[in-house]
Amino acid sequence: MKFPLLSLRIPFLLLWFLSLNLPCLANDWPHWRGAQRNGISEEALPDKALKNIGGKVVWKAEIGTGFASCSVVGGHLFTTGHEGGHDTIFCIRTADGATVWKHSFPADLGDKFYEGGPGATPTIEGERVYLLSKWGDLFCFQALDGKVIWKKQLRDEDEVRVPTWGFNGSPTLVGDTIYLNVGSAGMALRKTDGKILWKSDRGDPGYSTPLPVDLASGPALLLSNGKAYLAVERETGKKLWSHRWITRYGVNAADPIVKENQVFISSGYNKGCALLKIGNGKVEPLWKNKNLRSQFNGSVLIDNFLYGIDGDSNEDAALKCVDWRTGEVRWSFDQCGFGSLLAIRDQLLVLDHKGSLWVAPASPEGFKPTSKGKILDGKCWTVPVFAHGKIYARNSGGTLVCVSW
């Protein structure tokens, strides 16, 4: 499937210089957790990166305080940060880090127990960019120039309650619909004008990004709220099932991971993780333990093994490999601290909390890094992205770096 797309790349490359009006390409990272929504890039990691992961920081940009990640389409990157009472979304040229456009609006920093700033990543679809702020501002921008096509304040809806740390799940686009983790069981809006198609009862959402999946019952959306992980019908918002999962402060933040009729869920604050079996509107745990406690960054699943960070930001967190089938720990590696990771095909790319990148083959036999390199200073909790052969990573203070080889 990749090859026909690759063969189309040359004409598209020409178009990139003309506009952003492009379909998504295989090497794009158009939204949170990448094109496949699983934190795994299908692109190949350059051979040089295997030996010199630190690569070269080719440019840096300052985007303001926050924890949002990046979305990359073609030659443009979209991200957001906070400074001086305003959130700003940036469109940045990936070639040199220059700002193509930006848009600012008033927002509270929201620095409760941490630095604050936006947590949701902008989502790119077609020629448009969708952004949800912590406090319920929803924007649709023209990707080319940042013109606001429409915007709305979700708090105007009676059903909407802002959770303690604000909205941090990114918008999910499927077809003509925007899905948001807003309300007790999500919300759907028409992408052309923001008209609400369905909404759920008032209640605290979780902090995960809506995950579209096709269950046996049909097209569904997996969400978290303050007390559960749950599934709803995409078309109607009708609840399919809900698994009670209560965590201190209502922080169910990591995106669920789905394989066939099984769903992996995980939360921090010493809550733990579980593998749920879905069938006939029923949900039952196959196993549950405290082996992989994801405070907010999700794990990646490669073959039958989960790779992720276990533990909270204020304790001794560790990178772990957990067997999907049994929940048993295959190995634990404690030198990355409270980091984050993505996979590039079968290579794990880990950004530790102090700004070093590690690369190692994903293997249940152990974490054997082939290289390591420092790319950022400060606190690094945000998962980097990989697109078109480059890595983009940020720290909490708002330094964004592009790493190349």
Per rule CB under 8 A, is residue 113 in the interface with another protein?
A: yes
Nearest-approach distance from CB 385 to another protein, in angstroms: 27
Provide the mask over 266-305, with x wherever binding to another protein is found by CB under 8 A and - wherever it is not. ---xx-----------------------------------
Per rule CB under 8 A, is residue 62 in the interface with another protein?
A: no
**Residue 170 in tokens:** 């990114």
Q: Which of 21, 164, 192, 236 binds another protein (CB under 8 A)?
A: 164
Q: For another protein, give the closer residue by CB, 27 or 65.
A: 65
Per rule CB under 8 A, is residue 316 in the interface with another protein?
A: yes
β-bridge mates for residue 211, sequence order: 222
Q: For another protein, give the closer residue by CB, 34 or 81.
A: 81
**Distance in angstroms (rounded) separating the CA atoms of residues 6 and 114:** 42
Nearest-approach distance from CB 184 to another protein, in angstroms: 9
Rounded alpha-carbon distances, angstroms, from residue 276 to 254, 262, 286, 311: 15, 6, 6, 21
Q: Which of 135, 179, 296, 358 binds another protein (CB under 8 A)?
A: 135
Residue 4 burial (10 A CB sphere; 0-12, 13-18, 19+): exposed
Nearest-approach distance from CB 248 to another protein, in angstroms: 5
Rounded alpha-carbon distances, angstroms, from residue 382 to 340, 342, 394: 7, 11, 7
Q: Are 38 and 342 in contact (CB under 8 A)?
A: no
Q: Which of 51, 56, 155, 259 binds another protein (CB under 8 A)?
A: 155
Rounded alpha-carbon distances, angstroms, from residue 29 to 242, 250, 331, 337, 385: 30, 29, 29, 26, 7
Per rule CB under 8 A, is residue 84 in the interface with another protein?
A: yes
Nearest-approach distance from CB 203 to another protein, in angstroms: 7
Nearest-approach distance from CB 163 to another protein, in angstroms: 7
Provide the mask over 214-253, with x wherever binding to another protein is found by CB under 8 A and - wherever it is not. ------------xx------------------xxxxx---
**Distance in angstroms (rounded) separating the CA atoms of residues 340 and 380:** 8
**Distance in angstroms (rounded) separating the CA atoms of residues 388 and 161:** 38
Nearest-approach distance from CB 307 to another protein, in angstroms: 23
Q: For another protein, give the closer residue by CB, 192 or 270.
A: 270
Q: What's at 341, amino acid-wise?
A: L
Q: Which of 12, 314, 325, 389 binds another protein (CB under 8 A)?
A: 314
Per rule CB under 8 A, is residue 315 in the interface with another protein?
A: yes
**Distance in angstroms (rounded) separating the CA atoms of residues 208 and 224:** 6
Count of beta carbons in the 10 Å neighbourhood of residue 246: 11
**Distance in angstroms (rounded) separating the CA atoms of residues 32 and 209:** 8
**Distance in angstroms (rounded) separating the CA atoms of residues 10 and 17:** 12
Q: Are 90 and 79 in contact (CB under 8 A)?
A: yes
**Distance in angstroms (rounded) separating the CA atoms of residues 187 and 152:** 14
Nearest-approach distance from CB 158 to another protein, in angstroms: 11
Provide the mask over 92-111, with x wherever binding to another protein is found by CB under 8 A and - wherever it is not. --------------xxxxxx
**Residue 157 in tokens:** 């809806």
**Distance in angstroms (rounded) separating the CA atoms of residues 115 and 377:** 15
Helix intervals (H) in 54-108: none
Q: Which of 9, 56, 60, 112 binds another protein (CB under 8 A)?
A: 112
Per rule CB under 8 A, is residue 204 in the interface with another protein?
A: yes
Q: What's at 71, amino acid-wise?
A: S
Helix intervals (H) in 122-276: none
Q: For another protein, give the closer residue by CB, 316 or 346.
A: 316
CA-CA-CA-CA torsion sign (88, 89, 91, 94): positive
Q: How many residues bind another protein (CB under 8 A)?
A: 32
Nearest-approach distance from CB 314 to another protein, in angstroms: 4
Provide the mask over 321-360, with x wherever binding to another protein is found by CB under 8 A and - wherever it is not. ----------------------------------------
Q: For another protein, give the closer residue by CB, 23 or 84.
A: 84
What is the contact surface with another protein in residues (CB under 8 A)?
84-85, 106-113, 115, 135, 155, 161-164, 203-204, 226-227, 246-250, 269-270, 312, 314-316
